[in-house]
């Protein structure tokens, strides 16, 4: 069957799929990072009720499968709230929420490592809350958190592949389509796997370079 063979068009749709995966990854990482850090601050400032609630939800999200979270948003939310949720929206909500949960845990532990005595010292000198967070805690906490955050990023890139299950046209979904059309699973999944592998190594390499720069800076500042 001629039409079952690979065509010159296939690399292009693979690239399109890759584009969707990368876009989802970057967008949900950015949202998750901002949200996770914001939520971590509720813990740091011991906001009553909210802090506790956030902690429980974060633990819950960390300890349940992303695939099921995705199903809850994509199938469950429309049925319960009578709203329309597109596959991409469901993917965005789920991945951003999941990333936020992991960022929250990393950020909380990083801020705890900074130590409250420094904050108290800063307060004595009359720095405002905003100044303390921005000038005292953030730079040091970032040095502690950067390693785990890079690990998280490599992991979250892989997690984006799950959105193919609800029909988002990401790299894995394109792989599925090519697999069904060409019936050459070894070639298709090897290529798809290789692309993910390369992107993951790229993220790790970029993260490593960033970490070295941050650490060099931290070491210098510490002297």
Partner 1 sequence: MAFDLTVLVPYLGQLADGALLTAEACFFAVLGSFVCGTLAAFAATSAEPGLRRIAGAYTGLFRNIPFIVQLFFFYFGLPEIGLYIDAFTTGCIALSIAGGAYAADVLRAGILSVDPGVVEAAKVSGLTRLATFRLIVLPIALRASVRPLGSVFINLILTSSILSTITLNELTGAAKIVASTTFRPFEVYFVLLVVYAGLTYLMSLAISLLHRRLNRYMAEG
Q: Is 44 in the site for partner 1 (CB under 8 A)?
A: no
- CA-CA distance, 166 to 179, in Å (whole number)? 17
C-alpha torsion sign, points 175, 176, 182, 188: positive
Cβ pair 192, 198 in contact under 8 A = no
Distance, CA of 130 to chain centre: 26
Please state at what angle helix 10-44 crosses helix 50-62, rounded to 10 degrees: 150
Q: In angstroms, give the least distance from the CB of 13 to partner 1.
A: 16
Q: In angstroms, give the least distance from the CB of 198 to partner 1.
A: 9
Q: Is 80 in the site for partner 1 (CB under 8 A)?
A: yes
* Of the candidate residues 161, 168, 169, 207, the single one contacting partner 1 (CB under 8 A): 161
Instruction: Give the start-end residues of each E strand in the chain.
Output: none
Region near partner 1 per CB under 8 A, out of 30-38, 79-87, 102-110, 206-214: 79-87
Q: Is 189 in the site for partner 1 (CB under 8 A)?
A: yes
Q: Which two tokens stand for residue 82?
A: 């009578």
Cβ pair 142, 107 in contact under 8 A = no
Q: In angstroms, give the least distance from the CB of 60 to partner 1.
A: 6
Q: Is 129 in the site for partner 1 (CB under 8 A)?
A: no
Q: Is 55 in the site for partner 1 (CB under 8 A)?
A: no
Distance, CA of 106 to chain centre: 12
Q: Is 68 in the site for partner 1 (CB under 8 A)?
A: yes
Region near partner 1 per CB under 8 A, out of 7-15, 30-38, 102-110, 196-204: 196-204
* Of the candidate residues 13, 31, 47, 67, the single one contacting partner 1 (CB under 8 A): 67
- CA-CA distance, 218 to 93, in Å (whole number)? 35
- CA-CA distance, 120 to 80, in Å (whole number)? 47
Q: Which parts of this chain interact with partner 1 (CB under 8 A)? A: 59-60, 63-69, 71-72, 75-77, 79-80, 82, 154, 157-162, 164-165, 172, 175-176, 179, 184-186, 189-190, 192-193, 196-197, 200-201, 204
């Amino acid at each position: 069957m001629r039409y079952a063979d690979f065509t010159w068009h296939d690399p292009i749709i693979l690239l399109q799929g890759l584009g969707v995966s990368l876009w989802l990854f970057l967008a949900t990482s950015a949202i998750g990072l901002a949200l996770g850090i914001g939520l971590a601050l509720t813990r740091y400032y011991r906001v009553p009720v909210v802090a506790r609630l956030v902690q429980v939800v974060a633990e819950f999200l960390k300890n349940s499968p992303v695939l099921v979270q995705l199903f809850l948003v994509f199938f469950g939310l429309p049925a319960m709230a009578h709203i329309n949720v597109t596959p991409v929206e469901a993917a965005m909500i789920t991945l951003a929420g999941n990333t936020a949960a992991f960022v929250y845990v990393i950020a909380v532990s990083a801020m705890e490592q900074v130590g409250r005595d420094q904050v108290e010292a800063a307060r004595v000198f009359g720095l405002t809350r905003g100044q303390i967070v921005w000038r005292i805690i953030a730079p040091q906490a970032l040095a502690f958190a950067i390693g785990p955050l890079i690990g998280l990023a490599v992991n979250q890139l892989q997690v984006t592949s799950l959105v193919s299950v609800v029909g988002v046209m990401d790299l894995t979904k394109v792989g599925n389509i090519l697999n069904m059309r060409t019936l050459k699973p070894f070639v298709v999944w090897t290529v798809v796997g290789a692309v993910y592998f390369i992107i993951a190594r790229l993220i790790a390499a970029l993260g490593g370079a960033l970490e070295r720069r941050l650490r060099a800076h931290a070491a210098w500042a510490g002297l």
